Amino acid sequence: MDEILEVLEKDGRLRPEEIAKIIKKDLKAVKSAIKKYEKQGIILKYKAVINKELARDGENAVRALIEVNLLPEKDLGFDHIAERIYRFPEVTSCYLISGSYDLLLVIEGKNIHTVSSFVAEKLAPMENVRGTSTHFMLKKYKEDGVVLKHKDENKRIAISY
């Protein structure tokens, strides 16, 4: 991968001037490369990694990983079905995977009921869906290479006998 992309992937807030200094390249060349990557769709967006546990004010959003077993469509394979599924607003990520299941979805909802309703009412009834397995995320330790700090709640007291 290009040096500019590697630097931006680690910290998307860096300005072209800082990137040029880090990789020891001409500022004009760095700006030009970034514009080219954006135009080509290589750089899709710039994103902040948010520790939602610390940012949340009593809000209990729920995330789940859902494995989906599919029957591929003739002449279309998995891509057409995946597109229909990832267009649902509840789906934040969708991956074609190897193994027992075909797709891995990351779903977000207001609570456990909205996620289970999505599976029961929208996903499972789809014609090519043969089965699902839902895993609710209980705690996130690391995201996009960043270790997340957690609230200091429920500190356990050491007990000895």
In tens, the pLDDT along 8-62 reads: 988 999 999 999 999 999 999 999 999 999 999 999 999 887 777 777 665 668 9
| Model confidence, pTM | 0.77
Q: Which residues contact 104 (CB under 8 A, 6 or more apart)?
A: 65, 66, 67, 68, 93, 94, 95, 97
The two structure tokens encoding residue 67: 């494995």
The Cα 112–Cα 134 span in angstroms is 11
Q: Are strands 142-143 and 129-136 parallel, antiparallel or unpaired?
A: unpaired
Asked if 95 and 86 count as a contact pair (C-beta separation under 8 A), the reply is no
The Cα 29–Cα 34 span in angstroms is 9
Q: Which residues contact 14 (CB under 8 A, 6 or more apart)?
A: 7, 8, 22
In tens, the pLDDT along 79-102 reads: 999 999 999 999 999 999 999 999
Q: Which residues contact 88 (CB under 8 A, 6 or more apart)?
A: 118, 122, 123
Q: Kindly state the average pLDDT of the residues 125-142.
A: 93
Q: Kindly state the average pLDDT of the residues 135-147.
A: 88
The two structure tokens encoding residue 157: 């007291």
Of the chain, the percentage scoring pLDDT greater than 70 comes to 91
Q: Which domains does the chain have, with CATH numbers?
A: 3-40 (no CATH), 58-142 (3.30.70.920)
The b-or-e profile of 50-75 (16+ CB within 10 A means b, else e) is: eeeeeeeeeeeebbbebbbebeeeee
The Cα 85–Cα 102 span in angstroms is 12
